[in-house]
Amino acid sequence: MADSTSSFWGPVTSSHEWCEKNYVYSSYVAEFYNTISNIPCILLAFIGLVSSLLQRFEKRFSVLHLSNMALAIGSVMYHATLQHVQQQSDETPMVWEMLLYIYILYSPDWHYRSTMPTFLFLYGISFAVLHSVIRFDIGFKLHYVMLCLLCVPRMYKYYIHTQDVSAKRLAKLYFATLFVGSLCWLGDRFCCTHISTWPINPQGHALWHVSMGFNSYFANTFLMFCRAQQRDWSPKVVCFMGILPYVRIQKPKTHTK
């Protein structure tokens, strides 16, 4: 939402603004709540990264957690500045992240191991180049939704083949946070005129960030569990301090003669 407050970053050049007044708390931060709401996303991705590294999961999961962090940092830059170039630092990592999810979900059954990552890598680079030249708006959103929909059937397949109750709960939390976050995004996007008349703005887009931070964490944890099962690492879902779930594994010992 545009206003007359002076800004450090100059006029808004992004293709879209969200339902939050600009530069209310600082001339350096355009959308305050949409900016700080990325902090939980960064923290959750960092926790997942530490768990992945300490237990020596496959590198794909470390890269996945790092991509979640990069996406959240890009979102911070975008919402703090509302500049087109920073918008790309938010939207391009969103596509790269989904390509990485597609790889992790489908690679176990892919017989030609080098073909899939090569194609996804070239696809991601091509999108980044095009996105730096063409201002996608509706096209970007439809493209992102399409990539998300490609992941859902595979996630459901993993869910129905998983017997562990705690792991199934992770998948349910993944779908629940996706549903709630989507409602928040849609409300903020299409009901802003009505919301602006309320005494308090519920900050739907900021709630979308928080929901998707947990959504990514639950998705990553569930996929780590499924992959550990495929590798016979005896995975078990446990909770840190009785609150935050993570996967604990026990790799089979190698015997040396």
List, as residue ranges, the binding site for Ca(2+): 18, 20, 22, 31
The counts of H helices and E strands in the chain are 9, 2
Q: What angle do CA 3, 31, 127 make, to 5 degrees?
A: 110
Instruction: Tell me if 229 sits within 8 A of 235, measured CB to CB.
Output: yes
Residues in the annotated binding site:
18, 20, 22, 31, 79, 205, 209
Name the CA radius of gyration of the chain, rounded: 20
Sequence-separated (6 or more) residues with CB below 8 Å from residue 225: 162, 164, 167, 170, 235, 237, 247
Strands 236-240 and 244-248, sheet pairing = antiparallel
The HSE-up count of residue 118 (CA atoms within 13 Å, CB side) is: 5
Closest C-alpha among 136, 148, 122, 126 to residue 88: 136
CA-wise closest residue to 96 among 69, 56, 133: 69
| Contact criterion met (CB below 8 Å) for 87 and 75 | no
Residues making up the binding site for Zn(2+): 79, 205, 209
Both tokens assigned to 66: 């790092």
Nearest in space to 72 (alpha carbons), one of 223, 222, 209, 215: 209
| Helix/strand/coil for 248 | strand
